Amino acid sequence: MGRWEPNARGRLEQAALELYIERGYEQTTVAEIAGRAGLTERTFFRHFADKREVLFWGSGPLREHLVAAVEDAPDAAAPIEMVARAVEAVGELFGERRESARRRRSIIAANPELQERELIKLATLSAALAGTLRRRGVTDPAASLAAEVGLAVFKVAFERWVGDAPGQPGLSELIRESFDELKAVTAGG
Amino acid sequence: MGRWEPNARGRLEQAALELYIERGYEQTTVAEIAGRAGLTERTFFRHFADKREVLFWGSGPLREHLVAAVEDAPDAAAPIEMVARAVEAVGELFGERRESARRRRSIIAANPELQERELIKLATLSAALAGTLRRRGVTDPAASLAAEVGLAVFKVAFERWVGDAPGQPGLSELIRESFDELKAVTAGG
């Protein structure tokens, strides 16, 4: 069935982001995405369930990384330290993907339905983090607070990262800075 | 035009919450809500734009209270302290409304569309808080972090409040406890 297309997934993703920016997310069809990538619709659907999934397929791997990092944290680590390690590890995942992260963000900012989806994604990540902390013996409200606060730091660092001019610090570094800033901010009260 | 109905708004709200729990939010019509409250559909629409607004009309007043509390905080207060005052003030607003808060929460938990709406509401509140902090001269990332973290504390305290058995601490007290817990949690890293 269907011949093998080199990096079909990456080409489809790239084509989709371009079209969502040029024409708007709503107005873009799967046929157009496949056409721009020089592939068939059938190939598109081998990689993505629908055009929204092109923007959100990453939330599964993101959650797995967060959960694995908390599971692997040393027993002696404080809950917030477990969360900070996990969020920093995720920051490294994004590495060189700033340009596509920036595009993705502008697409999502232009569409209320996608914004809702993004908020749900973050809430799901926070719930997964809190659940993992509880399995490691952290009690509530510390588990929920550490998870919520960790995601808040991630959001703030991510916004700085995609907003900053090129040559600024990487995402992991901004995350570390934001955790330090968090300590300063919460100690201020 | 329509005679004056004593506490029509409160009766409609009460009837709507009952029906959303008994029959499900999706299945309930405005006509049924008005009927249960002993009022007309026309009266319903004088008070609420649609059946969703019965659950979300409070977000406007909530935002105004948060913003006003941050605006009124003393100049010497640290950003997180301004946010803590604002969130505690909002906690007092809820006061005796725990039973309806609990009902509202179970209705929202049963419906993905309402969950999305609730997440958007919280994100809007966080943005309003951060904007007010900036107008008071707090720079970023401290403004965004303090706002995000303040909302995170609110969420965690609110969940405890609606989940706890009767006779537990009030919402404001749980919010204060959660801000203390936050300090302990973030200092732990």
pLDDT tens digit sequence for A111-159:
988 998 999 999 999 999 999 999 999 998 899 999 999 999 999 999 8
Contact B174, B160 (CB under 8 A): yes
**pLDDT band per the 50, 70, 90 thresholds, residue A11:** very high
Q: Among residues of chain A, what percentage have pLDDT more than 70?
A: 94
DSSP A144: H
Nearest CB partner across the interface for A189, out of B116, B151, B183: B183
Among B141, B159, B186, beta carbon nearest to A149: B186
**CB contact B109 to A (< 8 Å):** no
Q: Check if the beta carbon of residue B15 is closer than 8 Å to that of residue B36.
A: yes
Q: Check A148 against B156: CB less than 8 A apart.
A: yes
Q: Return the higher-pLDDT residue of B37 and A6.
A: B37
Among candidate residues B19, B21, B77, A189, the one with its CA nearest the CA of residue B30: B19
Cβ atoms of residues B108 and B115 within 8 Å: yes
The 10s digit of each residue's pLDDT in A12-25 is 999 999 999 999 99
Contact between chains at B179 and A189 (C-beta distance less than 8 A): yes
| CB-based contact A186:A178 (threshold 8 Å) | no
Residue-wise pLDDT tens for chain B (189 aa)?
A: 456 677 899 999 999 999 999 999 999 999 999 999 999 999 999 999 999 999 998 888 889 999 999 999 998 899 999 999 999 988 888 877 888 889 999 999 999 889 989 999 999 999 999 999 999 999 988 999 999 999 999 999 998 888 866 667 888 899 999 999 888 888 764
Three-class secondary structure of residue A134 per DSSP: helix
Neighbouring CB atoms inside 10 A of B106's CB total: 12
**Interface residue A78 vs chain B (CB under 8 A):** yes
Cβ–Cβ contact B182 with A under 8 A: yes
ipTM over 0.85: no
Name the residue in chain B with its Cα closest to that of A178: B141
Instruction: Give the gap in angstroms from C-alpha A3 to the nearest C-alpha of chain B.
Output: 39
Confidence of residue A162 (pLDDT cuts 50, 70, 90): confident
Domain architecture of chain A: domains with CATH: 8-53 (1.10.10.60), 58-187 (1.10.357.10)
Residue B21: the pLDDT is: 95
Structure tokens that stand for B29 in this block:
């019509």
Is B148 close to A141, i.e. CB distance below 8 A? no
- For the cut 60, the answer to whether the pLDDT of residue A171 exceeds it is yes
Cα–Cα–Cα angle for B17, B59, A182, rounded to 5 degrees: 125
pLDDT for B41 equals 96
